Structure formats: C-alpha cells, structure tokens
Structure 1
Amino acid sequence: MKLTDISRQLATAFAAVGVSSLVLVGCNNSSAPEATKEPVTEGTATGTAETTAANDIDPEHTKIVIGTTEGDFADMVRNQVKGSLEAQGYEVELVTFTDYVRPNIALADGDLDINIFQHKPYLDTFKKENNLDLVEIFQVPTAPLGVYSGKKTKIEEVYKGMSVSAPNDPSNFARALVMMNELGWITLKDNIDPLTASKSDIADNSKYDIKIVELEAAQLPRARDEVDFAIINGNYATDAGIKLIEALFQEPSFAYVNWSAIKSADLNKKWVKDVTEAYNSDTFKKYAHDTFPGYKYPKIWTGDQAAVTTTTAGTASAQGTVVDTPAK
C-alpha cells in the first residue's frame, strides 16, 4: 500500500471510528474517574475593571479553568502557560484528571473552560456519541508512537525472520502496521482503513517475514530485550525513562497530535484567543522544544526550528509523510 494512499485515507477515516477503538496519546493511563484542582496562585488577577483595563484581558472572563490529564500536558500549564496568562492579568486554575471521559463532560457542563488531553479522532467520536457541542482549537506537543531498539540498535539491521513487538489494542496496533508499511517492512493491502488495520490487511510480509509480537502497551518497554525492535507508545516510553529522541523512527502522521477543546459558544471569545496565543508563542515553543525533545509538535509550527524533530544519527527521519488533520 502506497504512503500517499495511507495519507489520503487517514485524512478521511476518523469520523467512522468508535470511541472504544481510539486510544489517546496522553501521559496518564489510569481509568479512575478522579479530578484534582490545583490552587490559584495568590496575587493573580481578581477581575476588577482596573486590572482588566491595565492588562487587556477579556473583561467578561477573567478566570480561566484549564483541564488536562496528569503528566506532560499538566506540566505545560504549570511551568509555562499559567504564568504567561497570569502575567497578562488572568486568574488561572488547573484541574487534572486520571481518565479520558470526565474532561469532556466537565467541559460541556461548564466546570472547565478548556481541556487539553485528546487527539481529534477521539474528540470527534466522543462528542458525536454524547451529543456535546465542543470544538478543537489548537494542537499541543504530543509524545508519538515510535520504533525503538531491542536486540537491534539500528533500522539498517533489519533481517528476515526478525521479531517486532507492537501494542495489542486495535487502534495502536493499526498505527504500528502503518508504520511498518511506511518503513517498507511489510506491504498493506490497497484501500484499507488505516485506523482499523489488522493482520488480515497485510498483503505481503515476505520481505522480512516479521514475527509480530503483540503485547499490552505498558509491557512494551520492559520487553525490549526479547525482540529485535519494539513499537512503543510515546507516553509509555517516557514513563519508562526512554527518551523519545532515542526512537529509530516515529510515525509521521499529525493525526494523533493532541488538541485543546472548548465549547462552540466560546469560539470567538477573547480569552480563547489569548490562550491560543500563549500556546503558540515563541516563548512556549522554546520551552516545548527544550523540555520535550522528540515530541510531535503542532503542525502549524512546521517551518519553525521547534517543529523540526530528528532521530538519532543514521536513523529514519521522524518527520516523514504529513497527513492533514480533518477540517474543523
């Protein structure tokens, strides 16, 4: 299956996929429905007319409540975005979750102003199935799926009969198959749905006769020594202390880069514009580039130095074929 065919199909396939088959590219993987509110920094804006005028913040919305999953998305707020918005005059509260359901429900219910934790396929399906009027606004740096060394340390060390481990859940296994197709390790059938690809969609595995070892995603880092190469989710790699820049290859698609979401009614509000600018400022880009090397950066950053991620010397580029994210 050609790369251009996969790119085209990824760009149109998302709307038809159910929530159960979509796995977030996030940092926290607990399913416990809990949320933690972090205290607002003392001395931040109170929303008075004087403060509003002096700092040019949204006079109708001086406090911004941001919801994320715990981990890198929360750290982005704590370490950079919160201070940036507070310096502008806003009051900022961070609420962290340990599941992937409540952040959207809390947003729709008005308990949050904005959430940051999910990729667009998940958001599109979740809001459709739950009849929520939510919309994505901007992308944020996200840990991507990658090929990591096992017994072999270089992509060039591929050989016939090699073993490759991959996550066994349907969504991430499909992504792993697409990556192996992009590397030329296998050939997928024409006209398949790349979001739901399975072993039955492999047209040809004769080039390397790969033994694909399916494991639970959390086990992949620990089992690297038992296979030649390991395809690992970015969040599990970082949780295991593996640097993303150690990846031999990263998925080139921007389809799984995570987005912020707000209620559609807030789309043209000034505070939304201010939050968007905070996440796309030169200061934030530098922070993200310095703090999260190897991450997949927002597509609109392409061309900025911060958007260029490279793998270790002599390995495949992490920025291969680009897939356009479906239109808002």
Structure 2
Amino acid sequence: MRRKLSLFAIFAVVLVLLAACGNNQTSGGAESSGSAGKKEEQKKTVKFGATAGPYSDMVTKAIKPLMEKKGYKIELVEFNDYVQPNKALANGSIDANLFQHVLYLRQFANDNKLDLKEIISVPTAPMGLYSNKFKTLDSIEKGSLLTIANDPANLARSLLMLQDIGLVTIKKDVNVATLSEKDIADNPKGIQFKPVEAASLPRTLDSTALAVVPGNFALAAGMDLTKALKLENMAENYRNIIAVKTADADSQLAKDLKEVVQSKEFEKTIDEQFKGFSKPQWMTGK
C-alpha cells in the first residue's frame, strides 16, 4: 500500500513538473512573439530628417502618406542648419534625410569621414532671376544693379545661370568651383553685381533691380517660383536627394522610399503643391 502511495506521489510530482514546463514554454513563446512584434514595429518606424521649409513639407505632404500606406510610421525631424542632418543620419538618430544635393553630400561625408549615400533625387526648387522692376529679360535696363549670393557655391551657380540665359559670358577654362564676377568675359547690359548673404537676397528686391535667389530662400520668403523672370535650367548634380547610411542603401526601407518617390501619386502631389520645382531627368524622361 505504501509502495502504491509512493508511486502515486511520484506520478503527481511529474505531472506538476510537466505542467510547469508547459506553462514556461507558453510564456516564452508569447514573450518571443512580443519581442518580434516590437522589432517589427521599430523597423517600420522611420525618423526622417529635413530642413524646415519646402523639404520638410515634401516629406509630410508627398512622402509620408505614401510610406504610411506601406505600413511605415514616419516621424519628421526638422533641422535649421546643413550640418546636423548628416551627423544625425550617421549616428543613427534618424534613418533618412532630405535637404541637400549630391555634391554637398559627398563632400560633407568625405570631410567628416561619414558613410552616407544618396538613393534617389527629388524635384527641387531651382534658383531664379527675380525683379520687382522688370517683367521680361528683354526689358532689363543697362547698368541695372543685381544682388547675388556671396558664398562660393551659390555664387558660381548663379553666374552659370546668368550665362545660360544670355546676360553674361564666362571666361573659358575657368575653375567653376572658384567662379566669381572677375571671371565674366562679357557683360553686354553692364549689369552691376552686389554680393550679399544668400538668405537676405529676397529682401534686396525692394532696393535693387534684380536678384538671383536660390530656390529654398525664395520659398522661405514666400516668393512664387513661377513669378521669376527665369528659372535655372538645373544640373542633375544640384537636385536634392534622399540620403541614408551606406549600409542601408539596399535595405527594404531604401527600396520602399525609391518606389514611393517614383510613383504617380508622388508626382501628382508635386504638380499640385510644389509648383515651379524642377523635376529630375528620371521623372521627365529627358
């Protein structure tokens, strides 16, 4: 009898242990499933950096809605300078950014030893020649004063634009990176140049006849790009790009971002809400 009781007791203990083991496996499975779900949620949450203004608007109005349809949650992180967005991308504080052209990205990444890469170019606000005095290029009077950006990058770009529209001719074989007013070979209208800080160019239109204004500063000042006397025939290297870490260039996020930007829905939003923006060649088919 005692032997039967002992066997019964042992059998009961085994059942308890098996039940406990089963509960642990169930708990562990639930925990594992929860962790996987959390990781998936983290993967789908994307912090997107952009400078305040037209490109943060492009993220929220044209990119975010389409990415959300793909199951992502987009969190916009706004910046007020051109240094922190790339540093934040490199250190993982954000997952992608939109504010710069590819030439700036490559130079900044090289100078700061960062592994960043562009994945696709987007429609970009072009430079424009603006005037409150003249309505056409032909009506520009001789000796008119024109304000122009004083920083090397925007100055060179502005002069090349003026050459492209026929107001000046640049000397041959000059270094484009250091291009300045001294490199003008021909100035048939005798345009007078006054270099100023790029951000202040829109304000100069009240006191000068003409101004070459970069697109981002024109939009920040509430200017209408379509009211320019002439918009820049933008080189592809000057179009803004979406950048990610080099290690993420072939990730699913990068692929989804490219697919969204290449969609008809994205272009429709650009046409409706970003009038005057210059489209990249891949979009126009040129």
Equivalent residue in structure 2 for 1:112, among 94, 103, 122: 94
Structure 1 residue 47: Cα displacement: 9.5
Between stretches 162-171 and 278-287, larger displacement belongs to: 162-171
CA contact under 8 A between 1:47 and 1:62: conserved in structure 2?
no
- Cα distance between partner residues in 1 of 2:250 and 2:153: 34
Equivalent residue in structure 2 for 1:89, among 52, 63, 71: 71
Equivalent residue in structure 2 for 1:277, among 240, 256, 259: 259
2:176 match: secondary structure: coil
Aligned pairs (5 A) from 1:94-243: 94-205=76-187, 207-243=188-224
Counterpart amino acid of residue 128 in structure 1: N
Identical counterparts, % of pairs: 40
Partner of 2:29: none
Structure 1 residue 173: Cα displacement: 1.4
The TM-score normalised by the length of structure 2 is 0.81
Please identify which structure carries the higher helix content. 2
Pair 1:245-2:245 in alignment: no
Higher-Rg structure is 2
- Cα distance between partner residues in 2 of 1:186 and 1:75: 35
Structure 1 residue 218: Cα displacement: 2.8
CA contact under 8 A between 1:47 and 1:63: conserved in structure 2?
no
Q: 1:111 to 1:152 in 2, by over 3 A?
A: same
Across the aligned residues of Structure 1 and Structure 2, the Cα RMSD in angstroms comes to 2.4
Partner of 1:72: 54
1:195 match: secondary structure: helix
Equivalent residue in structure 1 for 2:240, among 255, 258, 280: 258
Q: Deviations over 1:95-151 (max 9, x none)?
A: 111221111111111122111111111111111011111111111222111101232
Runs of 4+ off more than 6 Å: 46-49
Q: 1:164 to 1:262 in 2, by over 3 A?
A: same
- Cα distance between partner residues in 2 of 1:90 and 1:180: 43
User: 5+ residue gaps in structure 1?
Assistant: 1-45, 53-58, 304-321, 323-328
Structure 1 residue 196: Cα displacement: 2.2
- Cα distance between partner residues in 1 of 2:101 and 2:73: 27
CA contact under 8 A between 1:188 and 1:201: conserved in structure 2?
yes
- Cα distance between partner residues in 2 of 1:175 and 1:230: 13
Partner of 2:282: 300
User: 5+ residue gaps in structure 2?
Assistant: 1-33
CA contact under 8 A between 1:150 and 1:226: conserved in structure 2?
no
The TM-score normalised by the length of structure 1 is 0.71
Structure 1 residue 244: Cα displacement: 0.2
CA contact under 8 A between 2:67 and 2:260: conserved in structure 1?
yes
Q: 1:180 to 1:286 in 2, by over 3 A?
A: same
Counterpart amino acid of residue 244 in structure 1: L
Structure 1 residue 63: Cα displacement: 2.3
Equivalent residue in structure 2 for 1:286, among 255, 268, 272: 268
